[in-house]
Amino acid sequence: MFQQHFLSIAILTGLVSVQVAKAATIYINPSAATNGNGTITHPYNTWAIGSLVAGNTYLQLAGTTYAGVVYDETAATASKPITIGAYGTGAAPIIDTMDFSGASYGTISGFQMVGETNAPPVIVQESSSHITVTLNTVLNAANGGISVSGAGAGNVISHNTVENCAGVGITIYPTTATAASPTQVYDNLVTGSGGDGILIESNYVMVTGNEVTSNGQTSEGSSGIHIYTPSASAGLGMYNTISGNIAIGNLDSLDQDGNGIEIDQWATDNTVTQNLAMQNDGGGVVLYDAPGNTVTYNIMFANGEDRKGTHSIHSELILNTSLGLTENNVIKNNSMIGYFTSVKAAFVSAAAASGSNVFSANTLAVAGSWSVFQVGSTVGTQQSVWNSLLSASDTFAPPPLTAPTGGPYSYTFPSGTSAVVDGETITLYGWSATPGLYGTN
């Protein structure tokens, strides 16, 4: 009996000795005079606190500034993520740079980042996966805004404001994202970047619901949203989806770009759908030596603004090529309205015209008596000629309009926005990815 009783106590003792570490909340106040222990009453005054711990939450006091880099190098898990945020009331806390290196399941939100002279304000790199960067402001940075480069799968960049940054606003360089676990870039405002607004040099990126405006301030070859690969053999610029975005007023005052959305050389198997592209220096949607892509249900209106007179092609939709690669694309159910004088609804180079591209159910129109299209050297206004040249089944008519609902719309046109299209006055009120343009005629 004694031996049996002793055994039960030993088993009980063993069970009691197994302890599960509890998640903690760690407080950082860079303005504190002395360095504490991370409690709310005695916060740390630095982010140099060693490796972040999975399951913990790290909060910086609102209205304070940390002039340095915050590092997350911890492989956290979905059940024990790392959360970085703010506490207290007041302005968003400021840091120089947030660097996720080899991290997983980390989130940062509610900060303003200003970057360092040699690094962007947000870096997701070294196979970091399932990182979320959300509800932050990236402002006036010297080396671009948000950079995802050499990262893993499942990263999310959402609801951030990236404003007036030199270089590219949001860059997605090669990652190991997959169709099941893509990189997601959604509902961000990217404005005033020196280069591209959003640059995709990767695969399996979903770019959705972003507002991309006035980018390309200083760099030639820039566009609002740009899918790019450096070579035919790189295996990049594929399987990306660009949907529901607003690309307005993007610039290229030095060269031929400044497009709303561009699919560049060798980029293939991408989908561009339900976007609004308007008032860009270049085209609304441009395919340049880009094969096998799908472009559907986009609205292209008042592009080709060419503010500095550097462009040789002025058109809403542009299919062009220097290598003969703009082929086997599907262009369907889009509306192209050339608004500025002499800006055509569509331009298709001679090589692209013979590239087995499929055109169907598009509407083309211009707001004047100039040419609606150019195919190779043929410039014209007749629907039958366009359809014959491209084996197309398109219509020359004002765009389909949905009766105004009073909003809210994803984009609201300035009051009184109207155009005379094919002799018919249309007034535009708003746009949403579905159903498209709201207006009257």
pTM of the model: 0.94
Question: Cβ of 254: how many Cβ atoms within 10 Å?
Answer: 15
> Is 426 domain-assigned?
no
Residue among 76, 193, 68, 186 at smallest CA distance from 134: 186
> Is 441 domain-assigned?
no
> Residue 30: is the preceding peptide bond cis (ω within 30°)?
no
DSSP string across 411-428: EEPPTT-EEEETTEEEEE
Q: What is the pLDDT of residue 117?
A: 80
Per residue in 119-139, pLDDT tens?
899 999 999 999 999 999 999
Per residue in 228-251, pLDDT tens?
999 999 999 999 999 999 999 999
Compute the distance between CA of residue 115 and CA of residue 218 in angstroms, rounded to an integer.
19
Q: What is the pLDDT of residue 253?
A: 83
Whether residue 113 contacts residue 138, with contact meaning beta carbons closer than 8 Å, is answered with: yes
Residue among 89, 88, 92, 130 at smallest CA distance from 114: 92
Per residue in 256-289, pLDDT tens?
999 999 999 999 999 999 999 999 999 999 999 9
Whether residue 431 contacts residue 438, with contact meaning beta carbons closer than 8 Å, is answered with: yes
Could you tell me the residue range of the domain that residue 100 belongs to?
A: 43-219
Q: Along the 441 residues of the chain, how does pLDDT read in single tens digits?
A: 334 443 333 333 444 444 446 899 999 999 999 999 999 999 999 999 999 999 999 999 999 999 999 999 999 999 999 999 999 999 999 999 999 999 999 999 999 999 988 889 999 999 999 999 999 999 999 999 999 999 999 999 999 999 999 999 999 999 999 999 999 999 999 999 999 999 999 999 999 999 999 999 999 999 999 999 999 999 999 999 999 999 999 999 889 999 999 999 999 999 999 999 999 999 999 999 999 999 999 999 999 999 999 999 999 999 999 999 999 999 999 999 999 999 999 999 999 999 999 999 999 999 999 999 999 999 999 999 999 999 999 999 999 999 999 999 999 999 999 999 988 999 999 999 999 999 999
Rg of the chain on CA atoms, in Å: 26
Q: What tokens were used for 70? A: 């915050």
Whether residue 363 contacts residue 400, with contact meaning beta carbons closer than 8 Å, is answered with: yes
Q: What is the pLDDT of residue 6?
A: 34
Compute the distance between CA of residue 185 and CA of residue 146 in angstroms, rounded to an integer.
11
Whether residue 157 contacts residue 182, with contact meaning beta carbons closer than 8 Å, is answered with: no
Compute the distance between CA of residue 97 and CA of residue 119 in angstroms, rounded to an integer.
8
Q: What tokens were used for 259? A: 């497009």
Compute the distance between CA of residue 122 and CA of residue 343 in angstroms, rounded to an integer.
39
Compute the distance between CA of residue 347 and CA of residue 292 in angstroms, rounded to an integer.
18
Sequence-distant (≥ 6) Cβ neighbours of residue 26 within 8 angstroms: 38, 44, 49, 56, 57, 58, 59
Q: What is the pLDDT of residue 21?
A: 62
> Is 287 domain-assigned?
no
Compute the distance between CA of residue 344 and CA of residue 367 in angstroms, rounded to an integer.
10
**Could you identify the residue written with the tokens 């535009």?**
428
Whether residue 222 contacts residue 252, with contact meaning beta carbons closer than 8 Å, is answered with: yes
CA atoms within 13 A on the CB side of 73: 7
> Is 201 domain-assigned?
yes
Compute the distance between CA of residue 419 and CA of residue 209 in angstroms, rounded to an integer.
26
Number of domains in the chain: 1
> Is 194 domain-assigned?
yes
- Phi first, then psi: give them for residue 231, nearest 5 degrees: -160, 165
Q: What is the pLDDT of residue 422?
A: 82
**Helix, strand or coil, per DSSP, at residue 5:** helix
Q: What is the pLDDT of residue 11?
A: 35
> Is 415 domain-assigned?
no
Residue among 216, 212, 213 at smallest CA distance from 251: 216
3-state secondary structure 8-44: HHHHHHHHHHCCCCCCCEEEECCCCCCCCCCCCCCCE
> Is 304 domain-assigned?
no
> Is 346 domain-assigned?
no
